[in-house]
Amino acid sequence: MSIKFKSLLKSPWVFHLACSPCNNCDIEILDVLTPRYDVERFGIQLVGSIRHADVLLVTGVPNKKTAVRLKQLYDQMPKPGIVIAVGTCACGLGIFKNGYNTVGPIDSIVPVSAYVPGCPPKPEAIIMGVVKLIKALSEKK
Amino acid sequence: METMKILLYLLIFPGFLFTAVCGMLASFIDRKLTARVQWRRGPPLLQPLYDFIKLLGKETIVPKSANKLTFFLAPIIGFAVVILVSTILGLTLINSETSFAGDLIVVIYLLTIPSLCIIIGGFSSGNPIASLGASREMRLILGYELPFVLSILVPVIKSGSIKLGEIVTSTYAISSISGIIALVVSIICMQAKLGLIPFDAPEAEQEIIAGSFIEYSGTPLAIFKLTKWMLLFVLPVFLITVFMPTKNVISFIIKYLILLVVVILIKNTNPRLRVDQIIKFSWIYLTVLSFIAVIYALKGL
């Protein structure tokens, strides 16, 4: 494993994109940053600009407006970067499956590396998803 | 031979490598102490190094609307200037014979350049939010530069020289009332120079995302980050050199750590000021305080 790749796994900076969710998942994501769970232990930081990010964290169902933005933001992210879908809506479509403005699940628009299901997923589940992804990536390379 | 020596100074000992390592350590102390204040565990020791190497390995994106030359030159110039300042300060502290006439003025000017580079980088990236951050940074410089220079004037008056070598050997400015007032003012100005809370309006995360750095990615961002960390080491060292010079390594480290912890605690216990509040605060309180310090120093107090 190269040192570049190792340091990428040790400091993933996260950009949080809310793709028209109901905000439950967003609140759980904010919980992950609080002193109780403290993801800065793993070097994970929430950044405001997509140009600084390594991980695109997506919640919610992409509709006709947000699907375009999601694609744009993915293209603006400096590579190597990965996408994580958080919540049942982002993984599949949840109860919005037959919605009139639903475009499709997130992985039909951008490639997704990890799915964290739940409505909303617990903070422990989100951390476990990230840890599993890091493990899988470090074994693959 | 002489050239090799200068290169060695610039690249290894008081220059690049030493300052970068110390700056990363200072950044680690900053993040760890912040985490402890907020009752968290905090990042591991090597976290700044991981961040830096990761950013070096990432793709560098140049926005279409950016001016390429200034976009890439801004971080490099700021970085080079910090190396130069750390070399001058380090050599003066080790051997006061190496200092040249008027180097205090050179150092004060050079310490302004990293902020100017942030402004140039922000304006040249062609993003409206970056321009907003750059204009805020400009007003911040207008605010803190006058009290900073005035408070540095106190040790100059005490020692009667603008040569760092003579200030280091002759005075101990902190032992007088005027020196203490000037040190307090310059610590607050240092906070503004470092762009930390309460003076972090130029890169206020919640309002304007990352300010001037918003369009930077990959290597230029890594250089900007490293410059910030190195400033976290160089600015307290400058204050130690001017106000309480010492040759003893242990006493130097203790003084540095005290200054660093004061800066971090101010950062963690204060809200962010608006730009107009910063200007008001620095022009009314800081400038008047530093004038009082200069008058006291002229009276010999």
Q: Number of CB pairs < 8 Å for A and B? A: 80
Tokens of residue A123, six digits: 């903070």
Q: Where are the domains of chain B?
A: 2-299
Interface touch A49/B209, C-beta < 8 Å: yes
- Percent of chain A residues topping a pLDDT of 70: 98
User: For residue A1, what pLDDT is reported?
Assistant: 64
Residue A57 is part of which domain span?
Answer: 3-140
ipTM of the complex: 0.86
Total count of residues recorded for chain B: 301
Q: Taking CA atoms, what residue in A is nearest to B36?
A: A35
What is the per-residue pLDDT across A25-39, written as a single tens digit (0 to 9) for each? 888 888 888 888 888
> A48 and B42: CB-CB below 8 Å?
no
Mean pLDDT of chain B: 87
For residue B267, give both structure tokens.
């950062």
* Residues of chain A contacting B216 with CB distance shorter than 8 Å: 51-52
Which CATH number do you get for residue A40?
3.40.50.12280
Task: Give me the residue from A11, A76, A79 closest to B51, CB to CB.
Answer: A11
pTM, two decimals, is 0.89
Output DSSP code: residue A106: G
More confident residue, B234 or A21: B234
Name the pLDDT band for A141 (thresholds 50, 70, 90). Answer: low
pLDDT digits (tens, 9 = 90+) for B20-68: 899 999 999 999 999 999 888 888 888 899 889 888 888 888 888 888 8
Please calculate the CA angle B47-B52-B54 and round it to the nearest 5 degrees: 95
H or E stretch including A46? strand A45-46
